Amino acid sequence: MNTTWRYMAASVLFASAAMAAGHASATDIKEIRFGVEASYAPFESKTPAGALQGFDIDVGNAVCAKLKAKCVWVENSFDGLIPALQARKFSAINSDMTITDQRRQAVDFTDPIYTIPNQMIAKKGSGLLPVPASLKGKHVGVLQGTIQETYAKARWAPAGVDVVPYQTQDQIYEDLASGRLDAAFQDAEAASKGFLKRPQGAGFEFAGPAVSDEKLLGAGVGFGVRKNDAALKEALNQALKELKADGTIDRFAAKYFDVKVVLK
């Protein structure tokens, strides 16, 4: 019995030490390197001078301030964000990435921060709707690696819709404006601020209602982290919780968003 008790005591001490070590590492974070695809206004884009701006950028900087850590931003194509995270090119993904079961197989996520509707845009009066029958034979642009690409390829492409992936959202808008695309599918806020409210988007509008599909389109946006980085995930979750509680994230949302988003 004494041996059993010594084993149990040692196990408790080991577990306590591990928890303490994990907590210490969470508080010792000195720098957070965020991966971002910077052509998705108003979440992340660049000023004419080349500086990063947007809702996700403000949230990331506020998180770093809460943790008293230095923020470093690493630009990357959206479809390469998860491989780059796994290759340790940065610490976390902060680029309007929706949490889905498919992505969870590769990386972990913080608690959801917000959700936003997904919607198609097309020329005014086009009559296009985000359904296979309406889009058959049409060319629809999507950003590579996004939930919109996954959805469009699964739900529309089999019915004869030409789903065209692009590396940046700006390229999609250029081809839509020039007539090389019939429609574009992205989240509604990016469409509103990044295209419809700009001169380039004159003559275009939301085409049909928002598209919902929790399995493919997910149920919230969070920061992506590596699966073995529990300390960073814990620290990010705590900072986000505090920023929600003190109204900081609500203020950022009011500053940037036209479309109603749901803060988690």
Domain residue spans of the chain = 2-113+221-263, 118-217
Pairing between β-strand 183-187 and β-strand 139-143 as defined by DSSP bridges: parallel
CATH number of 2-113+221-263: 3.40.190.10
> Which residue type is seen at 55?
F
CATH superfamily of 118-217: Periplasmic binding protein-like II (3.40.190.10)
Give the pLDDT of the chain (264 residues) as one tens digit per residue.
333 333 333 333 333 333 333 343 556 899 999 999 998 989 999 999 999 999 999 999 999 999 999 999 999 999 999 999 999 999 999 999 999 988 999 999 999 998 889 999 999 999 999 999 999 999 999 999 999 999 999 999 999 999 999 999 999 999 999 999 999 999 998 899 899 999 999 999 999 999 999 889 987 999 999 999 999 999 999 999 999 999 999 999 999 988 777 776
Q: Could you tell me the pTM of the whole model?
A: 0.74
Is residue 39 within 8 A of residue 168, CB to CB? The reply is: yes
- The per-residue DSSP string of 49-101 comes to TS-EESHHHHHHHHHHHHTT-EEEEEE--GGGHHHHHHTTSSSEE-SSPBP-H
* Fold match, 2-113+221-263 / 118-217: yes
CA distances from 167 to 76, 88, 135, 145 (A): 10, 21, 22, 9
